Structure 1
């Protein structure tokens, strides 16, 4: 008879648990459908998904715990009623140790750092513990406002890893027995499944969001065809991914141009050397480098000035197998960047390297179309385009504009005497002198044959003549080394200006050419202004 009664009690107490678990399994099927949908969306965003390790994902282990609190709390309350316990509580292991996540009958539970639940967590074994005698208290591992005479603690396990402890307590002496252990272990297994599914769901959400960021940031990089705009976009993308301060160093000649967002924390626009810094190591080894704390470094960390740097991540960018730049991400906090962010930045830098190579190739092709193959100056066609552009600008803003036309004296004699290869050397030498002599804002070009043109912006005839005379004198003083001999040449120069001499771009060329003819007629090796011919 007693056995039948006991069996009836067990069936009655197990029925609500079974019903709840049945509903829970249906809900988990819905979760699985959501997982599959998210995985499909993630795959559509990118074929090469970033690989995140378990350490990265564990940082988000219970970040979305509110979504499953109702499920777990429902299990705790059913167990409480079935066992006639004062409270059933779930303790989860976090960085600070065991923490009470949920409880069916208590609030504000504070763990003590030592006690029975810690023994269960470390051993991974179930423990049913009674007080030594009725009325005596036990040390459960957490503070309670009432005496605890019976405690049943079960580990919450995922494979061999202990996630936490499920604990039931009661003021009654010997309140629980062996049959209650089976119920608690069943509830602990279901809680472990919920936590695992939640972790997997968080993992898929994290991957999906990461891929979305990469998709949003990578697409504009692929479309950019202007180098400065591309570099600024790379910096903006890195800021979004990392949340830190970002500086892109792009190699130009022997120095590095600096790109950053806002520039409120950086005064320099370029650096001439990486020597003695962490970035020198990145450039030499051609590998990314991350230091979570550089505060103890005695050597200089960065080639530009920024105080209080703690975390530094540096990633090289490549063009034609050579280091073209270094993306530097840093923070005033230690351990500022996690492995997920580093993975994303590495993928972003790979895309950025491809985009930079595409832009440089585009600029090279454009340069070939705009420049003279021998001298490297703008060709005649592009010079005409720049003349039209600058003349319109001068008209609009009422600025002055001058044109210098230069012709190498007796150049046919050079070709006839020494041959065309020597003539090419002279042309290249003259072009180099012109480039080095004029201002950065001026526009030199090879006009045709042995003639060169220089658009001198925002300058009248008098100012243009000063520049032209420097060009003429520098060419005259230069020794061209040809087949063991020193060859010297001179140039004749004609100048016309807007608005003093002309009213159109074509007229500017025409009048400058007349002035050049006047210089030739006057004896060569001289500069003539069109205004002086009138």
Structure 2
């Protein structure tokens, strides 16, 4: 529906412009045809050197429009401007579709006529002796022209505005305002010079306009380049923070939109264990499906890019034989950009973004996104390395679960968190019954195998409900945030039965192992972490003393026989 409305609006403006031009033709004084031709040629030069940007263009051609209006009235200004636009953008094409060329010419005609209406309301016919009223009328003409021009163009580019995140309508208004600083006085001077020196004076005076326009082109390009650098700055600043891998990937997808708009995007990271790239972050309507996708190095176009290490742009999937039969995003989007994420010579992953428009991405986009991916690659590699170092420092070397050091840190964190939230914190301390006998009779290798098997059993049984740590020797600790005494006691009993019924695959010894467990809970049994550990240990000792292979809650100690 939005597209139909936009097409209808475009052709409505074109139709009105053509109708107005046809009505104005009879008012042209063709005796000045040679003069009109010179103004048209100068207008073509101004339009050809105009600074184009997504929401419009910046041109000094208004100086010619104003001069023509003063000298020959509105019909000449409308016709010369429209013909200059059609020739410069149509016959000498700038890459615009034909409907855009017609629209630009038509909106110029409507803007001139709007300015003409305002002018005659204030000052009377153009060409009168210079008076205050005439000056006010010319300023009103200029203001009305720019206002109508921006309104029509803004509505025309509105559907595509989100496709250019680095540019805004305010930019177009501000940059076009620069042209007012020299176009209006230059137009007045050109009209004066025409009356004093003829066409030669107009031509000589218009040359500086082209020079100024060229300088403004450099300024605009520099400002846009600075915005791309600013996007890179935001990425660098974000990556300097202490982020996990997922936060880095989300940041890359977010900041990429500062540079270029896209429909869908996904980042794959290399998995050393699985030996392929798996989707770790995705945005867009296909987010859920993309999260399930994988890429094998060297297979398909994306895998080839990863293997080759060079970024690639697919301008139009339907026209590029390399990807015409590729599955996934290549079947639903027209343009794609595939950028490897590499740190030094080590592959980290790959970014794939796509859009439904053909030719949505260019080399400037590719360069900037490649820099972003390079920054992200270093941050990801460093984060993974730091995570591995932290895991190594916090992991028990024998069993692979958390060690005593991590237990001390995590218990303090969970105690503060549950206390502030008004929740209980339970602790289960457990150890293997008669473990010294296992070591003495079957050897330390068998004893270590029992601990490894038991650690995996506890970790899988507790899952995300708690934190399982090796406290020391054959003793284990299970932190249970949010568990009250009854819940903690029930889980402890389940663990005891699970271990009792489990057959430990340790060669040379009986397949069954028994454990004893003690349970304490904050704030019922303790008011700090140190006391909580002490009370859980006392409950464990009570379970040992009461015959082993059982669960004892700290609150039950008084009921046990002494």
User: Shorter-chain-normalised TM-score: which range?
Assistant: 0.5 to 0.7
Cα 1:351–1:451 shift into 2, 3 Å: same
Q: SS of 2:373's equivalent?
A: helix
Separation (CA, whole Å) in 1 of partners of 2:49 and 2:349: 32
Residues 1:66 and 2:84 are matched in the alignment: no
| Larger relative helix fraction | 2
- In structure 2, the residue matched to 1:288 is 311
Pairing partner for 1:248 from 258, 262, 267: 267
Distance 1:270 1:474 in 2: 35
Residues 311-368 of structure 1 show CA distances to partners (whole Å, capped at 9, x for unaligned) of: 2222232468554333221212222111111111011100000111122223233333
Write the distance in 2 (CA, Å) between the matches of 1:97 and 1:361. Answer: 51
Structure (1/2) with the larger strand percentage: 1
- DSSP-derived class of the 1:440 partner: helix
Determine if the alignment matches structure 1 residue 448 to structure 2 residue 472: yes
Does residue 1:207 correspond to 2:199, yes or no? no
How is 1:57-456 mapped onto 2 (pairs within 5 angstroms)? 62-63=52-53, 66=58, 68-69=60-61, 92=88, 93=92, 94-95=94-95, 203-245=221-263, 246-250=265-269, 254=274, 256=278, 258-260=280-282, 266-267=287-288, 270-271=291-292, 273-274=294-295, 279-294=302-317, 297-302=324-329, 308-318=332-342, 322-417=346-441, 420=444, 422-456=446-480
- In structure 2, the CA distance between the partners of 1:512 and 1:62, relative to structure 1 (3 Å rule), is closer
Counterpart CA distance in 2 for 1:341 and 1:97 is 22
Paired residues of 2:60 and 2:210 also in contact (CA < 8 A): no
Taking the TM superposition and a 5 Å limit, the aligned residue runs for 1:477-496 are 477-481=502-506, 485=508, 488=511, 490-496=513-519
Change (3 A) 1:503 1:224: closer
**TM value normalised by structure 1:** 0.59
Does structure 2 conserve the Cα–Cα contact (< 8 Å) formed by 1:404 and 1:493? no
Deviation at 1:239, TM superposition (A): 1.4
Structure 1: which 5+ residue stretches go unaligned? 1-57, 77-86, 109-181
Q: What is the rounded CA distance, in whole Å, between the counterparts of 1:405 and 1:502 in structure 2?
A: 14
Offset at residue 439 of structure 1 (A): 2.1
User: 3-state DSSP class of the match of 2:352?
Assistant: strand
**Unmatched segments (≥5 aa) in structure 2:** 1-47, 69-79, 111-199
- Partner-residue secondary structure (3-state), 2:465: coil
Contact (CA 8 Å) 1:460, 1:497: kept in 2 or not? no
- 8 Å contact from structure 1 (residues 251, 257) kept in 2: no
Q: Give the match's secondary structure for 2:58.
A: helix
SS, match of residue 426 in structure 1: helix
SS of 1:456 mapped into structure 2? strand
Judge conservation of contact 1:249–1:257 (CA < 8 Å) in 2.
Answer: yes
Q: 2:114 corresponds to which residue?
A: none
Number of aligned residues:
391
Aligned-residue offset at 1:521 = 2.6
Q: Is the 8 A contact 1:492 1:519 kept in 2?
A: no
How far did 1:527 drift?
A: 3.1
CA distance in 2, matches of 1:75, 1:369: 78
Do 1:461 and 1:495's aligned partners in 2 also have CA atoms closer than 8 Å? no
Partner SS, residue 95 of structure 1: coil
Shift in CA distance, 213/460, structure 1 to aligned 2, threshold 3 Å: closer
Using the alignment, how far apart are the partners of 2:535 and 2:484 within structure 1? 14
Contact 1:317/1:326 (8 A) holds in 2: yes
Alpha-carbon offset, residue 453 of structure 1: 0.3
**What's the secondary structure of 1:467's corresponding residue?**
helix
SS of equivalent residue, structure 1 residue 325: strand
Task: Give the superposed CA RMSD.
Answer: 4.6
Q: CA deviation at 1:243?
A: 1.3
Query: Which has the higher Rg, Structure 1 or Structure 2?
Result: 1
Could you tell me how far apart the structure 1 residues matched to 2:302 and 2:511 are? 47
Per mean C-alpha deviation after superposition, the further-off stretch among 471-480 and 348-357 is 471-480
Using the TM superposition, give the Cα deviation of residue 241 of structure 1 relative to its aligned residue in structure 2, in angstroms: 1.2
Q: TM-score, normalization: structure 2? A: 0.57
Is the contact between residue 270 and residue 278 of structure 2 (CA under 8 Å) also seen in structure 1? yes
In structure 2, how many angstroms separate the alpha carbons of the residues matched to 1:200 and 1:527?
79
Q: CA deviation at 1:285?
A: 4.6
Instruction: For 2:279 and 2:489, locate their aligned partners in 1 and report how far apart those are by CA, in whole Å.
Output: 34
| Deviation, structure 1 residue 68 | 4.8
The alpha carbon displacement at 1:393 in A equals 3.3
